[in-house]
Amino acid sequence: MKTKAKDIMCRQPQCCTPEDTIEDVARMMEQCDCGAIPVLEGDSIKKAVGVITDRDIACRAVALGMGPMTKVRECMSTPVAAVGEDSTVSECCETMERAKVRRLLVTDSEGELCGIISQADIALRLSRNLTAEVVKEVSKPIDGTPPGAS
């Protein structure tokens, strides 16, 4: 039997809405010891419309002079990279590599958020070779230029 997304995902991740502030989200990240928070349409609607990461806050908000009351919608990452909960881990890795993301949202049969998979989940549960391949492919620059080359 192949390992599925639902077997390795973090269930019921902390979430926010586009109307929350980046200060609220930074506090959530600190309390949950995580670097990404899925952004849902609303408090009772589990459809993901984006993800906000610690990097989004640093590079899209703070570095541009936005304050702590900046709304999540102004600096969240879109589109969402997601897989279904019955996707194989191999499909999850391919999606992460293709989308160049370190975290992947997991949706149920209704398209609602039910979990999140990070590179750490891959590293803790899969072979070294598969983990190394995912890290390598996700880290490759989109234009193919090695980091630091000019």
- For residue 144, what pLDDT is reported? 56
Asked if 115 and 6 count as a contact pair (C-beta separation under 8 A), the reply is: yes
- For residue 146, what pLDDT is reported? 52
- For residue 122, what pLDDT is reported? 87
Q: CA distances (Å), 111 to each of 16, 27, 30, 82, 140, in order? A: 17, 27, 28, 10, 29
Q: How confident is the model at residue 150 (pLDDT cuts 50, 70, 90)?
A: very low
- For residue 148, what pLDDT is reported? 52
What domains lie within the chain, and their CATH numbers? 5-139 (3.10.580.10)
Q: CA distances (Å), 45 to each of 7, 16, 41, 74, 90, in order? A: 24, 11, 6, 20, 29
pTM of the model: 0.86
- For residue 138, what pLDDT is reported? 84
Query: pLDDT (tens digit, 9 = 90+) per residue, 96-139?
Result: 999 999 999 999 999 999 999 998 898 888 778 877 888 888 88
Q: Can you say whether residue 75 is alpha, beta or left, with left for phi > 0 and alpha for psi between -120 and 50 degrees?
A: alpha
Query: pLDDT (tens digit, 9 = 90+) per residue, 68-104?
Result: 999 999 999 999 999 999 999 999 999 999 999 999 9
Query: pLDDT (tens digit, 9 = 90+) per residue, 12-65?
Result: 899 999 999 999 999 999 999 999 999 999 777 789 999 999 999 999 999 999
- For residue 143, what pLDDT is reported? 64
